[in-house]
Structure 1
Amino acid sequence: MDRATLAAYDKDAAAFAQDWHDQPAPVDLHDIVTRFFIRGGATADIGCGSGREVAWLNAHGFPAEGYDASEGLLAEARARYPTLRFTRAELPDLSGIAANSFDNVLCETVIMHLDHALIAPSVRRMFELVKPGGVVYLSWRVTEGEDARDAHGRLYAAFDAALVRTELAAAQLLLDAEVVSASSGKVIHRIIARRRD
């Protein structure tokens, strides 16, 4: 994880968490998950932030646990959802998470916060987490031209979707689209891939 981005999330975790919870519900994401994820399957939310999607997943038939690199955001998630499981893990290593341990992996708008050199190994590692036949959902904020930082200092890496597709070449692509997020109103790219049996 980019250190300045991580520091921004730790410093203002409560404000970020409140902002995400005040946004419109990500109904487009929920529809996609319902269509493509394995219902009842063990699910990991990588970069879970304040835990909003972990809570939704658990309430809708996708038993989920959340992972994040930010201790500040994890504290927010644990306070908001004390009965759910949240663990610190950082891309690309995701130490402590075994390969082939999840049916579904969700990573919503996280990988654009990574240095370019870490994007490919992070995608590979998340794909390793899913069992044969399992599904990976990846999305990222699209940044045109050069890398950018927002007022908080968060990195938004500019990279071609081909970088992600290459790491998923052995998978079956189920969705590959650039859209406007119903929740944030920002342009994001989504890729969903199924690991072949």
Structure 2
Amino acid sequence: MDPKTLAAYDSDAAAFAKDWHEQPAPVDLHEVVERYFVRGGNSADIGCGCGREVGWLNANGFSAVGFDASEGLLAEARRRYPELKFAAAELPELKGVGTYDNVLCETVIMHLERAQIAAAVRRLLGIVKPSGILYLSWRITGDCDIRDAKGRLYAAFDAALVLAELKTTTLLLDEEVVSASSGKKIHRLVAKKPGLEIRE
């Protein structure tokens, strides 16, 4: 994770959490999850922030745990959703993270340096169980890296960099849309991991 981005989230976690909870509901994300995620399976939200989607997942039949690199945001998540599970983990390594039927990573990987993105996608796919689902999105900001007023990195990279790491999967969704929640342009992918081969 980019250190300046992580520092920004840690230092102003309460303000970020308030902003995210006051945004319109991400109904487009919810529709994608309802359509593609494995019902009855376990789920992980990687880069869960203040826990908004972990709360929604658990309330809608997708048993979920949240992971984030920011201790400040994790504290906000635990305060807002004390009955749910949250833990520290940082891309691209995701040390200590197990495997899940559904993995959600919503607008996180653009906070990594471009050189780390392929490894992060490989690791995200690695924590998906056979026949499981990976939802992955990132914010599109143009042809060059930028930092916002808070110091957060938005790395610029071609979707081909991500798709190359998903070549063993079945791509169920690949689209560029404007997020219903943030109003920002994002690239969104849903990939199904191959199942285990059964040998006679």
Partner SS state of residue 189, structure 1: strand
Unaligned residue ranges in structure 1 (runs of 5+): none
Q: Distance in 2 between matches of 1:25 and 1:143?
A: 22
Give the equivalent residue in structure 2 for 1:153.
151
Unaligned residue ranges in structure 2 (runs of 5+): 196-200
Partner SS state of residue 82, structure 2: coil
Q: Distance in 1 between matches of 2:89 and 2:190?
A: 22
Q: Distance in 1 between matches of 2:116 and 2:35?
A: 29
- The alpha carbon displacement at 1:143 in A equals 1.3
Q: Distance in 2 between matches of 1:143 and 1:120?
A: 18
Within the candidate set 106, 109, 127, 2:107 is matched to 109
Alignment of 1:81-160 (within 5 A): 81-98=81-98, 101-160=99-158
- The alpha carbon displacement at 1:33 in A equals 0.1
Q: Distance in 2 between matches of 1:24 and 1:143?
A: 21
How many pairs align?
Answer: 195
Give the equivalent residue in structure 2 for 1:170.
168
Question: Given the two structures, how large is their TM-score scaled by the length of structure 2?
Answer: 0.97
One-letter amino acid of the structure 1 residue matched with residue 91 of structure 2: L
Give the equivalent residue in structure 2 for 1:32.
32
One-letter amino acid of the structure 1 residue matched with residue 177 of structure 2: V
Asked whether the equivalents of residues 143 and 159 of structure 1 are also in contact (C-alpha less than 8 Å), the reply is no
One-letter amino acid of the structure 2 residue matched with residue 133 of structure 1: S
Partner SS state of residue 87, structure 1: strand
- The alpha carbon displacement at 1:39 in A equals 1.0
One-letter amino acid of the structure 1 residue matched with residue 166 of structure 2: L
Within the candidate set 189, 194, 197, 1:196 is matched to 194
Partner SS state of residue 185, structure 1: coil
Partner SS state of residue 97, structure 1: coil
Q: Distance in 1 between matches of 2:74 and 2:10?
A: 9
One-letter amino acid of the structure 2 residue matched with residue 17 of structure 1: A
Question: Between the two proteins, what is the percent identity of the paired residues?
Answer: 69
Partner SS state of residue 175, structure 2: strand
- The alpha carbon displacement at 1:145 in A equals 1.3
- The alpha carbon displacement at 1:60 in A equals 0.4
Partner SS state of residue 74, structure 1: helix
